[in-house]
Amino acid sequence: MEPSQIDTTLEEIRVALEAGLIQDAIDALTKLHPVDRASAFSDLNDTDQAVILPQLDIPATADLLEELEDEEAAAVANGLPTELLADILDEMEPDEAADVLGDLSPSRVAEALAEMEEAADVIPLLAHPDETAGGLMTTSYIAVRPEMTASQTIDFLRQVDPDEETPYYIYVVDLNNRLVGIIGMRELILAAPEDEVYKFMYREVVSATTTDDQEEVARLMARYDLASMPVVDEQDVIQGVITHDDVLDVLEDEATEDIYRLANVPDPDLSIFSPVGLSVRKRLPWLYISTLTALFASWVISIFEDLFQQVAVLAVFQSVVAGMGGTTATQSLAMIVRAIALGEISVKEAWEPLLKQALTGLIQGIAVGTVAGLGVYLWQGNPYLGLILGLALIGNMVIAVIVGTLIPLLLKAFNLDPALASAVLVTAVTDSAGFALFLSLASLFLPYLN
Amino acid sequence: MEPSQIDTTLEEIRVALEAGLIQDAIDALTKLHPVDRASAFSDLNDTDQAVILPQLDIPATADLLEELEDEEAAAVANGLPTELLADILDEMEPDEAADVLGDLSPSRVAEALAEMEEAADVIPLLAHPDETAGGLMTTSYIAVRPEMTASQTIDFLRQVDPDEETPYYIYVVDLNNRLVGIIGMRELILAAPEDEVYKFMYREVVSATTTDDQEEVARLMARYDLASMPVVDEQDVIQGVITHDDVLDVLEDEATEDIYRLANVPDPDLSIFSPVGLSVRKRLPWLYISTLTALFASWVISIFEDLFQQVAVLAVFQSVVAGMGGTTATQSLAMIVRAIALGEISVKEAWEPLLKQALTGLIQGIAVGTVAGLGVYLWQGNPYLGLILGLALIGNMVIAVIVGTLIPLLLKAFNLDPALASAVLVTAVTDSAGFALFLSLASLFLPYLN
């Protein structure tokens, strides 16, 4: 649904609430898709939310908690009486219920679980850290034994009456609940009714372990186009299932994280809508680090301070060398960080791209250095000024592509996030090297610059 | 599979080929998953590829063409005799076959289509531009009529014998092939055998139109967690289906595009593995634009050139103001570009985040300006130098967050890509404003700086 249509509904709801027509407001809200409903609800102010929330029935509140952002869902859950919260959590998908519980206080979690009927589905999920396959999976899946026939399996499915969110695969487990195979609904339909499951199940199941990193699992599912992946423990006992929508969420978050880190925003949960205080608190440390590197570059310039009294024009062009180094380095940085994120490169195979980048940097340095040097010569009338600018540009652009490629690879080799700190480190190098190169060359050619 | 395991297989293949044991090489290759097989194949050199390719059977070659990158697939397809190519294309998924044909010459396409048995499935796909829903969809789906019973539908499925790649939904169409409903395999299994499809189909189908932009469709499917989405023409006649793996590809490409554009890499197909010539050709234009803006900033500095002869230390610190403006602006830029990409913000609602950013910039400017100003005062012993640095930092960091937020929104308002050119434009402003602010303040306080 277009944002504008949600806006129209929001307007309807506000008008209805102002006129005291609460039921009209509820009707307008519930005619939206649950995703849009959550989006509209979170756009309402606190007063309006407090009026609407108690009027929603249990399934509608469950839908709302499933679709709201984590923090907002926790706030809503915290405002509900324990008994009602337990009923709502029972109605939710186990993984979503676990997510909501994960954001509540331990005492509140204990109270809610004590009141819940389906606590047993949710408790195992609470044990797994958020960033693991275990934290991502749901326990709502269907498992059968290999000796069941196709028609018995279909009867079993009818009994279970799976809902829309249940994964499309049926998992086959032995007496110890160890995963031994998998069948699709399609194979089930196509099988002869009397065929046993083990005759038509796939035995080569790609599965994740509960402790696996969620990004690696998501990457794997994306690589092999898997719609869902079972999660097992160390003994191969099935624990849950990860579905394609989870993969999307993880990969989108990962992309956000990379974009943010390349831009020195350390927390992927930060957004332009975040409160100012939080925003400053998160961004400021990186700005201070950046200030330190800028002052370090200033110190490099200060070594050559006397030069400016003799040839003031050097102060005019020194930043071009530093800046162009930064721009070239950022190009290489973005490409290598993305290649690492998409699993296209390992540290061992890095030699070839590194050499290619160095060569690219050299050619680009010559291309930019020649044009900029010539331009500055024509502008300022001094060929030596053009020459040192050109040479400094060539040198700094080669340095730039090498550090831009190398720093993320080194961070990766030390198991650190290749996007984190890369931008700061790279800029520190290209700035300092740029100033040092340009001003050393200027010292060398000093007699010709006046 | 881990890259290292692919490497082991690659080694096996190379050893076998050197020993002339072609069948051993083929066996090693075909025991890999098709995705890994394509990855290993593309890592072989041209000679090895030429030895292996003719030995693969038709289904194996079809798998290979489906999984190779577009350009490589086209190169392989171009090397095959037409009749063989036609057989291989018949074996492929129609959307993948269309993608391969899309990269061949028109005469070669005509020849291949003339030889193909399933040309009718592929021809409609060739008509749609790559970036549209029509270009993304496959024609391999199952459609039934509403008056068929569940058991007739199951019999029909058995006849069709859908393969692994067929979407999990069955589409319900009227006599004119207009989409009227949708059923899942699950509903089909759960339905009573004599129930007609119209009794248990979903009627509220979310569908795309062939001409819809692929990113918008992918965003929609991601928002509503849809595993697949039917594509219809203007008359609601079903044309094809988009599946969850396509969505992933589109969103990953979109993320790459944004990361690249923020880093002034204009072409999302460029990678660290691209040939040096291509890399230079694509990156250089943006470097030249960047050079122009850097020289513009130099021109701003040149207005104050006389200052440096009097107070050389100004040349030492001027870049701090420009650089910190750039860093702050980049933080805001990344957050707004991501919010726009994820559909979290429309241009109309931009006032609140813009005000928040301005306030954030002011607080950060005061925080960084105070510390940096104080530090420079202690370092250089001149309180006025610290003061003008601090003031210039505050001013430039407020300007930075505002332009960092505003420029992408303006580009978006004019229907341009908000990530494109944003980085260049923002840096141009923060550099020039930084130098102008610092040096104007220096002129003002000149008597106190010596």
Which CATH number does the domain housing residue B224 bear?
Answer: 3.10.580.10
Residue A429's CATH number: 1.10.357.20
Q: Which residues of A touch B222 (CB under 8 A)?
A: 245, 248, 252
B152 and B212 both lie in a single domain:
yes
Specify which of A204-218, B84-98, B123-137, B361-375 reaches the highest per-range mean pLDDT. Answer: B361-375
Q: How confident is the model at residue A4 (pLDDT cuts 50, 70, 90)?
A: low
Q: Residue B63 in 3-state DSSP? A: helix
Specify which of A16-25, A247-256, B73-82, B394-403 reaches the highest per-range mean pLDDT. Answer: B394-403
Looking at B213-243, list the stretches that DSSP marks H as alpha helix, in order from N- to C-terminal side: 214-223
DSSP string, A40-72: HHHHS-HHHHHHHGGGS-HHHHHHHHHHS-HHH
Q: What is the per-residue pLDDT across B189-224, written as a single tens digit (0 to 9) for each? A: 888 889 999 999 999 888 999 999 998 899 889 888
Q: Which residues of A touch B331 (CB under 8 A)?
A: 263-265, 283, 286-287
B167 and B124 both lie in a single domain:
no
CB contact under 8 A, A324 and B286: no
B115 and B168 both lie in a single domain:
no
In the chain, the amino acid numbered B398 is V
Strand B142-144: give its sheet, edge to edge: B142-144, B169-173, B179-184
CA A196 to chain centre: 43
| Residue A375, in any domain of the structure | yes
B347 and B436 both lie in a single domain:
yes
> Cβ(A325)–Cβ(A434) under 8 Å?
yes
Residues B270 and A355: their CA atoms lie apart, in Å, by 16
CB contact under 8 A, A272 and B224: no
B173 and B294 both lie in a single domain:
no
Q: Which residues of B touch A186 (CB under 8 A)?
A: 157, 162, 166, 168, 185
Residues A122 and A140: their CA atoms lie apart, in Å, by 10
Nearest CA in chain B to A325: B287
Under DSSP, the state recorded for A117 is S
User: Which of A306, A331, A356 faces B283 most closely, judged by CB atoms?
Assistant: A331
Q: How confident is the model at residue A201 (pLDDT cuts 50, 70, 90)?
A: very high
CB contact under 8 A, A265 and B335: yes
Residue B40's CATH number: 1.25.60.10
Question: Testing the interface with A: which of B272, B305, B379, B424 to mutate, by most A Cβ within 10 A?
Answer: B272
Structure tokens at A68: 């709201």
What are the distances in angstroms from CA A272 to CA A44, A276, B333, B412, B421?
A: 18, 9, 10, 16, 20
* Average pLDDT, rounded, for chain B: 90
Structure tokens at A305: 């301070």
Q: What is the per-residue pLDDT across A392-428, written as a single tens digit (0 to 9) for each? A: 999 999 999 999 999 999 998 888 888 877 889 999 9
- Whether the ipTM is more than 0.90: the answer is no
CB contact under 8 A, B33 and A224: yes
Nearest CA in chain B to A379: B299
Q: Which residues of B touch A288 (CB under 8 A)?
A: 368, 371
Nearest to A176 by CA among A220, A132, A236, A118: A236
A148 and A125 both lie in a single domain:
no
| Residue B264, in any domain of the structure | no
CB contact under 8 A, A280 and B247: no
| Residue A269, in any domain of the structure | no
CB contact under 8 A, B190 and A157: yes
B305 and B374 both lie in a single domain:
yes
The strand pairing partners of A301, in sequence order, are none
Residues B124 and B37: their CA atoms lie apart, in Å, by 30
What's the pLDDT score for residue A322? 95
Q: Which residues of B touch A286 (CB under 8 A)?
A: 327, 331
Does B379 score more than 90 pLDDT?
Answer: yes
Looking at A137-213, list the stretches that DSSP marks H as alpha helix, in order from N- to C-terminal side: 150-160, 185-190, 197-200
A194 and A149 both lie in a single domain:
yes
Residues A401 and B327: their CA atoms lie apart, in Å, by 20
- Region A343-371 average pLDDT: 90
Nearest CA in chain B to A315: B315
Pairing outcome for strands B179-184 and B169-173? antiparallel
Does A441 score more than 50 pLDDT?
Answer: yes
Nearest CA in chain A to B293: A320
| Residue B103, in any domain of the structure | yes
B305 and B439 both lie in a single domain:
yes
Q: Which residues of A touch B435 (CB under 8 A)?
A: 319
Structure tokens at B398: 């407020």
Q: How many residues does chain B have?
A: 450
Does B398 score more than 90 pLDDT?
Answer: yes
What are the distances in angstroms from CA B252 to CA A11, A248, B382?
A: 35, 9, 52
Q: Which residues of A touch B225 (CB under 8 A)?
A: 35, 245
Q: Which domain holds residue B71?
A: 3-130
User: Which of B161, B185, B364 faces A280 most closely, judged by CB atoms?
Assistant: B364
Of A221, A253, A285, at which residue does a domain stop?
Answer: A253
Structure tokens at B293: 């803006």
Structure tokens at A86: 């337990």
Question: Testing the interface with A: which of B202, B291, B303, B412 to mutate, by most A Cβ within 10 A?
Answer: B291
B96 and B163 both lie in a single domain:
no
B241 and B107 both lie in a single domain:
no
Does B389 score more than 70 pLDDT?
Answer: yes
pLDDT cut 70: percent of chain A above it: 98
What's the pLDDT score for residue A152? 93
Of A201, A222, A253, at which residue does a domain stop?
Answer: A253
What's the pLDDT score for residue B4? 60
Residues B315 and A438: their CA atoms lie apart, in Å, by 13
| Residue A316, in any domain of the structure | yes
User: Which of B3, B157, B319 faces A322 most closely, judged by CB atoms?
Assistant: B319
Nearest CA in chain B to A281: B364
Backbone phi and psi for residue B448, each to the nearest 5 degrees, phi listed first: -95, 0
Under DSSP, the state recorded for A104 is S
Domain count, chain A: 3
Structure tokens at A219: 């990457």
| Residue A266, in any domain of the structure | no
Q: What is the per-residue pLDDT across A146-194, written as a single tens digit (0 to 9) for each? A: 999 999 998 888 888 776 666 678 999 999 999 999 998 888 888 888 9
Strand A169-173: give its sheet, edge to edge: A142-144, A169-173, A179-184
CB contact under 8 A, A315 and B308: yes
The strand pairing partners of A202, in sequence order, are A182
Residues B265 and B281: their CA atoms lie apart, in Å, by 11
| Residue A263, in any domain of the structure | no
CB contact under 8 A, A189 and B157: yes
> Cβ(A217)–Cβ(A195) under 8 Å?
no
Q: Which residues of A touch B185 (CB under 8 A)?
A: 168, 184-186, 189
User: Which of A186, A294, A334 faces B265 most closely, judged by CB atoms?
Assistant: A334
Of B219, B253, B287, at which residue does a domain stop?
Answer: B253
What are the distances in angstroms from CA B105 to CA A296, B92, B116, B128?
A: 56, 19, 16, 17
* Residue B142 host element (H or E): strand B142-144
Residues A16 and A14: their CA atoms lie apart, in Å, by 5
Looking at A44-149, list the stretches that DSSP marks H as alpha helix, in order from N- to C-terminal side: 46-52, 58-67, 70-78, 82-91, 94-102, 106-115, 119-126, 133-136
Nearest to A37 by CA among A70, A71, A13: A13
Nearest CA in chain A to B401: A272
CB contact under 8 A, B189 and A279: no
Question: Testing the interface with A: which of B215, B269, B279 to mutate, by most A Cβ within 10 A?
Answer: B279
What's the pLDDT score for residue A164? 63
* Pairs across A and B, CB distance < 8 A: 331
Residues A320 and B301: their CA atoms lie apart, in Å, by 11
CB atoms within 10 A of CB A265: 24
User: Which of B188, B291, B308 faces A189 most closely, judged by CB atoms?
Assistant: B188
| Residue B135, in any domain of the structure | no
CB contact under 8 A, A312 and B291: no
User: Which of B305, B331, B363 faces A264 most closely, judged by CB atoms?
Assistant: B331
Q: Which residues of A touch B355 (CB under 8 A)?
A: none
A114 and A199 both lie in a single domain:
no
**CA-based nearest distance B71→chain A, Å:** 17
Does A1 score more than 60 pLDDT?
Answer: no
